[in-house]
Structure 1
Amino acid sequence: TLLCNGYIGCSPLYPTVAISIRTLAVFRQTHRVCPRLSIQAEVRKLCHMHNVPYHRYLADQYSMAYDVYLEILHRVDIRVKKAMQHDSPDWRLKNACPACFYKLEDEPPLQFSFMCQMDGNNSLKRTNAAVRRQEDRVDTRKMRSDYWLHASQVDQFKDEVKVRQSMHGKQKGMAEDDEDFDLDSDSNWVDDKSDPVSVCIERWKNAGPEQCKRMFALFDECGIFLSACRHGTVLLICDMIQSGELAKYPLAVVDKLIDVFGDDIAAAFDIGCTFEKTLAKSSLGPKAKTHHLRMVVGAFHGHAHNRGCQLNWHPLYVPGMGRADLEGCERIFSSSNELAATTHHASKFHRWQAIEEHYKFWDEDKYAALSTYMFNHYREALKIIQEGSAELEELKLALCLTDSDFNGFLEQERAYLQGLKKEPPEETLRFEYVEGLENLAKARYATVELVKSGRHISSCERKLEKAQATVERLEDQIGIEARWDDKSSEYQAARLKLKERKYRKALDELERLVVQRLFELSKLNVSGTGYKLRTQIAKALQRRSEAIKHALQSYNTLAAKLSPPRPLLSWKQIVDYSFLGEFELLRLSRDDIREKPWAQPANREATIKYLQLQRAHEEIERLNAEMRRLRTAVRDEEHETQCVLRKLSESTSRSDNLLALEVERRWAMRSAINAVHTQRLDRIKRWAGFTGRRGAGRRLGSVLPGECVGAAAEQDEIAEDIPEHNIEDEEEVAQQLEGMVDFVCQVE
């Protein structure tokens, strides 16, 4: 009776308090657009509106009614999916984004079937009940949606990456038999400094040893790891349980994506370079290789990787990637960070429920913004092609270059960077020996001066004895019979190399500080960063700037002392994050690269323009396919929905008739969004630079009901025959669409 009158009771058997469905619906929509709004805040608001003192039990009652409301919506959703035949396994995943997955029969092949991005975030933690001196209430309810990868699916990869003892011994305080110690097995590439990936392992926390990825016992769930398509639609989520960002999470995500989508997937990860090696050494390695999985690094994070890494994994240097930055996970987490305050102390089920609700609404927003994404990216790519083509042609004429030269420059640079090897151990000993000789000379001079002045200090004698012992030890290790002096050729050669070594160390320190500054700048702009944390980051940036200035001064001093002198750097150069990739070129090697064609600034600038132009053409090619997919999906969805509505309405079953009303209600909003998509796609189609096919196509492997096929074909034919002068004015169309949306909102 309560439900029929629009109310939900706060207890199942003998309710004394009921809350209107309208109130719950308003809170749900408000919470979806403002995740910070908690049930407690909503109840306090209602108490003030109704002049009722607030009590904690009122929030508990509201929460119970809200759970029932969401369960009703979930069960209705199941019935709608069944009626629409959207209840097959992985249906949501296969149809999450029509631009990515609604492939057509006659579309040209793309280098990558689709692009996704994945990353972890620790904002959505859940505090352990024992820490709060409470006991978790028994709640057998599970996660409702198929967004989640269950713990069992993730834990099958927990032993994929074997534990390996560090060269410097196990870290103190670490358990020896912890099952989550999944340190990457082959660390030969960690110790080999010539491998660009080794630099990333030192630089990125989530690329380092798994022993370091521990989380305080304060939390049960320490965050989430998710993947999304290039348009930002969330595909998969898994809980990071009592750990940091372990390798098992991305391994489980990759395994599921390959199972569902098959070949030619491009996956972006902020440590994609390191993870590709981890993946190759796991049991998923042959599977990933067979299905041609390609790991890349996001465009922004890629600038914090060293140059050798960028040339292999940055999207700018990977053919087929287009203009996608693949940094959508940061935008997703920027939104979900606002949800964190309501999940830290929630029960396990309520945390799942809140995350599911948030990302369902996020995906609805991403679908509504699909045509906007295509509109903006198509316009940007066309601008790059129109302006960049002329600029590149001028540079090619001025520098006497061809397109093949640019690809050759990249190959030559890769070969050079691979040749930068770590100094051999015997050379390190020689450097220590030269430094020992210098320290011994200083200690002798200080002792002689003290003797001349008639003083005797035992500390100077101890320093002299220690310096003498160090030199003798190094002579034994190296095998030097006659001690070097400042006139010997061996001493002079080692001293020259020692200068180069100090130069390299100064360069490494400068690069490290610039990278840290980049990371802190990115944190400063994250939505949800509190005032105190922003203040701390701002102070750290101020200190970092002073440290960078000192490191820059030290670098320039040492660079000038070399023969020939190395290029001096300015503050303006190093604060540009895109300069990070150039640090590798300043490192010394046996060959002087300053005269190499690929190292010339003008040639490097032309190469970048060439690559940007190539990626812009690839973006146009992919957008042409995605736009036609979206147009076809919009057409097919309309006719599929109309067929289902007709079938349910004509049924003699009362429940089917009611279900038809629910389908119609949902379709009202969806059709308004689809109308906006069609209008934007039509605008793009009329651009002078548009190169895609017009009209809709036919989904690969799909068969529409007989009555829908004829209607769809008829609509395509009519749409193609509309003359240009009959297209409605843009402002008039926008006003009509706004009216439709207002009407739908009123009905809702």
Structure 2
Amino acid sequence: MPVSPFIPTTVITIRALEVYRVARLRCPRLGIQAFVRTLCDIHGVAPRQWLAAQFSVAFDVYLAIRAVVDKCVQVALGRNTPHWRLKNACPCCLYKLKGEPFLKIPLMGTFDGNNSLSRFWLREKVELDKGVFTPGASKERVDDRVAPGDYYLMRDDVDKWGKEGVEDLMKSFASNAEDDDEEDRCSERWQNIKEDVTSRAYGMYDETGFFPALCRHGFVLKVVDMVKSGELMPFITFIGSKYPLAITAHLLNILGEIAIGYDIGCKFGKMVKVHPALKELARDKSFRALVGAFHGHGHNRLCGLDNLMKYVEGVGLEALETCESFFSKSNALASTTRYASQFHRQQAIGTYLKHADAFETYQGLTLVLCSKYWRTLEIKSTYTALQLSMRDLGVQSHDEFETWRTKEKVHLRSLSKEPEQETLEMEYYQKLVNLMDTEGRVAAILGVEWPFIPAGHDTDYAEAAKATRRIETQRRHAPEVQAKAVAAVHDLEDRLDIAVHWIPGDEKWEAVAVMVRRQHYQRALDHLQGLIISRMFELAKCNMSGTGYKLRKHIAKALQARSKAVKNAIAKYNGIAESMTPPKPTLNWNEVVEYAFLTDFDLLYEGREDICGELWAQPAGRAAMDQHFKLLRADEEILRLNIEIRRLVTYMVDEEAFLRREEECLRAEGKEGLAIQGGLLRMERGRKVPGFTGSILPGVSICRERHTPVVRDSDTDMRAPSPSPPPEDDSAAAPADDNDVDVESDDEDGMMAEAFMNIVRISRDDSAEAEGR
């Protein structure tokens, strides 16, 4: 492969370029410079600065040739229609069959933002003063090339969701009474909805990360780049949402009904409902925003009862946390894309996504389905234990668990917002306490006598004068402070229509004093809960793959300090809890650090009714209720898995037949360069899982495009256009793939037939075969 278009003096072999391409896909941290130096070491040549640049040029040309060849193959197969890849991204989700059972939620996906793949914005330094610089204009070279593939949504398509109707959206969102009633503390717990966090990196990065959408099996549906928002900074909360809004609109238009899991799905779902350009489409397509299983336990209990996966009908046992495992692998791209150009960054991400779908997600699809099936069967095996728990608790019917859930929602909703009258009364009580304290301090200040210092006394006159001035200042301020306290009390008395001051011992005084103590209790609990949230997430990050040594040490120090803060918060909480009437449950260190779910805190909140006697508030009752809903979701998961397994088998059979037929047609037409490159991926031989109730016999797909021959224009030249300078012949452009197809032997055909028969044979009862022997 030449490195210059006209008079090349250096060439790089196709084999070397292919080795680097495949190696980088398997190890994204491998950069061009490291690979070029490796080649220099192999050949015993001293590294040269320009070799990496030359290799980069040749590699771009090589990838461009591969992209053109791939595009021609897609045209030959009739797969060049708009959004074909998206509509066929996942065989289990999208390859629907005739006569299959109805699914309440036909398609589930998840998306999330990741800032690991951010790219520095190269800008000039402008000197404002001696030694003081500020970022200036961009000094990046203009590169209008577009990375191949259709994984990315264009920036223009994304930006319009941050510009159109933002002000209307804010007004609608702020004035929605239904959403106000359901307002919770969830959004305060997530960094991606806070303005100060999202605005920090704008001056440093051009792309601040990327935002992928995946199906529940891990196939990439669509990706957008998160880019600085410039002049729309005042509307940062909604601009930060333009990425999920853009992807949601695209998926609804192309794929139809879908449910999306998001770490702030509760807040995002409300945004979609009121968005002027999206609410109609979302309603027509029955869009549902969900909260992933991991992030869901960081939301408060009231939010979880509506949005947590185990309480949502139709989702099965899906966690919708696929993005987290995806990011643990894709983060390896960060080191090679941080200082790359915009084109090379998207090129690296696009090729990685394509490789991950084909060689990671698809190859592991059978294992994923089997793992889900085994886990579901394990949960279904706990039905007997649930029956015993119901008998011990005196629960007569499974319907009572839904009643418990409703009661818990009603109770927690009553705690979410205090009545305005009670709030004003507590404020009035606090102002009276402040007034009494102020009057006491005024009396103490006015009662201070000025000491007489005889002439010739050894006392320091300067210190005595300073003390006298301090007392005079306090005497002058005391009446002013008292007047302000009296004015505040009078204002609240007018608002509450109170004719006589409350005094200690009055019935109203004592009743409101109890409410104030309850408020202090709840605030102490809020503080403790916030510390526990931080501790749990920091522990998860500390043990996450890819966390560097320095960051681990930083997190370890933060955890050490956090542990002391948690202990202090526990001590403060216990002191307030013991002062309550009746005393509230106290906590110890071991109980707090072993809390499995953050939602357990919510039942500690003081309510207007005693729930200690309610079964749903007791640990045994809550465990039984959780197990009941898990079993409900397990039945849904079995139904979904039975459908998905049959879809996958049918897809494999149809795809195999289609590709072989089209390959023969292309060969018959004399278009060897477009013959299918390599054999299909084969499913490993397996055995039937005990408890499997589905069928893996192939069905009949609704989409018939794989069953009808592709009509091609015989006059159309399907060969890849020759770049300048002309490349090597077709065999060089695809060095090994064509030869693999040409020399495919009859033995391989026999192996493929045997593998297919093994797949079909799985549906037989292995135990019956064993008895027959």
TM-score normalised per structure 1: 0.85
Tell me which residue corresponds to 2:580.
562
Tell me which residue corresponds to 1:225.
211
Does the CA-based 8 Å contact 2:645-2:696 persist in structure 1? no
Does the CA-based 8 Å contact 1:382-1:689 persist in structure 2? yes
CA gap of 1:535–1:560, structure 2 versus 1, over 3 A, is same
Letter of the structure 2 residue corresponding to residue 247 of structure 1? S
Does the CA-based 8 Å contact 2:442-2:479 persist in structure 1? no
Aligned equivalents of 2:709, 2:343: Cα separation in 1: 44
User: Which of these residues, 466, 471, 475, is aligned with residue 485 of structure 2?
Assistant: 471
CA gap of 1:704–1:127, structure 2 versus 1, over 3 A, is closer
Alignment of 1:541-620 (within 5 A): 541-576=559-594, 578-620=596-638
Matched, 1:130 2:123: yes
Tell me which residue corresponds to 2:233.
none
Give the deviation of 1:459 after TM superposition.
Answer: 5.9
Tell me which residue corresponds to 2:355.
361
Give the deviation of 1:95 after TM superposition.
Answer: 1.1
CA gap of 1:320–1:131, structure 2 versus 1, over 3 A, is farther
1:47 counterpart SS class:
helix
CA gap of 1:590–1:577, structure 2 versus 1, over 3 A, is same
Aligned equivalents of 1:189, 1:531: Cα separation in 2: 47
Aligned equivalents of 1:115, 1:414: Cα separation in 2: 26
| Same amino acid, percent of matched pairs | 37
User: Which of these residues, 545, 549, 556, is aligned with residue 538 of structure 1?
Assistant: 556
Letter of the structure 1 residue corresponding to residue 324 of structure 2? E
Matched, 1:517 2:531: no
Could you give the per-residue CA deviations for residues 462-487 of structure 1, whole angstroms, max 9, x where no partner exists?
A: 67435523430222211255444323
Give the deviation of 1:382 after TM superposition.
Answer: 0.5
Higher gyration radius (CA):
2
User: Which of these residues, 417, 426, 429, is aligned with residue 427 of structure 2?
Assistant: 429
Matched, 1:407 2:402: yes
Matched, 1:338 2:324: no
Q: Which has the higher contact order (CA 8 A, sep 6+)?
A: 2
Alignment of 1:298-313 (within 5 A): 298-313=292-307
Letter of the structure 2 residue corresponding to residue 435 of structure 1? V
Does the CA-based 8 Å contact 1:308-1:417 persist in structure 2? yes
CA gap of 1:499–1:706, structure 2 versus 1, over 3 A, is closer
Tell me which residue corresponds to 2:26.
33
Give the deviation of 1:122 after TM superposition.
Answer: 1.3
Aligned equivalents of 2:763, 2:481: Cα separation in 1: 91
Could you give the per-residue CA deviations for residues 559-606 of structure 1, whole angstroms, max 9, x where no partner exists?
A: 111111112223233324533112222222221121223222221111
Q: Which shows bigger deviation, 49-58 or 22-31?
A: 49-58
Matched, 1:186 2:179: no
Give the deviation of 1:275 after TM superposition.
Answer: 0.5
Could you give the per-residue CA deviations for residues 199-218 of structure 1, whole angstroms, max 9, x where no partner exists?
A: 12222232345995463222
Tell me which residue corresponds to 1:96.
89
Letter of the structure 2 residue corresponding to residue 409 of structure 1? W
Matched, 1:675 2:675: no
Aligned equivalents of 1:210, 1:190: Cα separation in 2: 27
Aligned equivalents of 1:184, 1:329: Cα separation in 2: 32
User: Which of these residues, 211, 223, 238, is aligned with residue 237 of structure 1?
Assistant: 223
Could you give the per-residue CA deviations for residues 298-342 of structure 1, whole angstroms, max 9, x where no partner exists?
A: 110111101111111111111111111111111212212111111
Q: Which shows bigger deviation, 371-380 or 418-427?
A: 418-427
TM-score normalised per structure 2: 0.83
Could you give the per-residue CA deviations for residues 361-381 of structure 1, whole angstroms, max 9, x where no partner exists?
A: 211210111000011110111
Does the CA-based 8 Å contact 1:161-1:184 persist in structure 2? no
Aligned equivalents of 1:525, 1:412: Cα separation in 2: 38
Aligned equivalents of 2:350, 2:179: Cα separation in 1: 43
Give the deviation of 1:262 after TM superposition.
Answer: 1.0
Aligned equivalents of 1:620, 1:438: Cα separation in 2: 67
2:596 counterpart SS class:
helix
Could you give the per-residue CA deviations for residues 693-714 of structure 1, whole angstroms, max 9, x where no partner exists?
A: 2411011131544799xx99xx
CA gap of 1:453–1:98, structure 2 versus 1, over 3 A, is farther
Alignment of 1:210-289 (within 5 A): 213=199, 215-243=201-229, 246-263=240-257, 265-282=258-275, 283-289=277-283
User: Which of these residues, 91, 115, 139, is aligned with residue 143 of structure 2?
Assistant: 139
Does the CA-based 8 Å contact 2:188-2:194 persist in structure 1? yes
Kindly tell me the number of residue pairs found equivalent between the two proteins.
683
Matched, 1:489 2:503: no
Give the deviation of 1:162 after TM superposition.
Answer: 3.1
Letter of the structure 2 residue corresponding to residue 515 of structure 1? I
1:89 counterpart SS class:
coil
Give the deviation of 1:499 after TM superposition.
Answer: 1.1
Aligned equivalents of 1:728, 1:68: Cα separation in 2: 56
Unpaired stretches in structure 1, ≥5 consecutive residues? 1-7, 165-181, 730-748
1:225 counterpart SS class:
strand
Does the CA-based 8 Å contact 1:645-1:664 persist in structure 2? no
Aligned equivalents of 1:188, 1:442: Cα separation in 2: 45
Aligned equivalents of 2:196, 2:139: Cα separation in 1: 30
Does the CA-based 8 Å contact 1:430-1:494 persist in structure 2? no
Unpaired stretches in structure 2, ≥5 consecutive residues? 126-135, 230-235, 453-466, 711-751
Aligned equivalents of 1:461, 1:691: Cα separation in 2: 86
CA gap of 1:9–1:525, structure 2 versus 1, over 3 A, is same
Tell me which residue corresponds to 1:735.
none
Aligned equivalents of 1:150, 1:728: Cα separation in 2: 56
1:267 counterpart SS class:
strand
- Over the aligned positions, Cα root-mean-square deviation in angstroms equals 3.0
Q: Which shows bigger deviation, 126-135 or 221-230?
A: 126-135
Does the CA-based 8 Å contact 2:12-2:55 persist in structure 1? yes
Could you give the per-residue CA deviations for residues 342-367 of structure 1, whole angstroms, max 9, x where no partner exists?
A: 11211111011011111112112101
CA gap of 1:155–1:446, structure 2 versus 1, over 3 A, is same
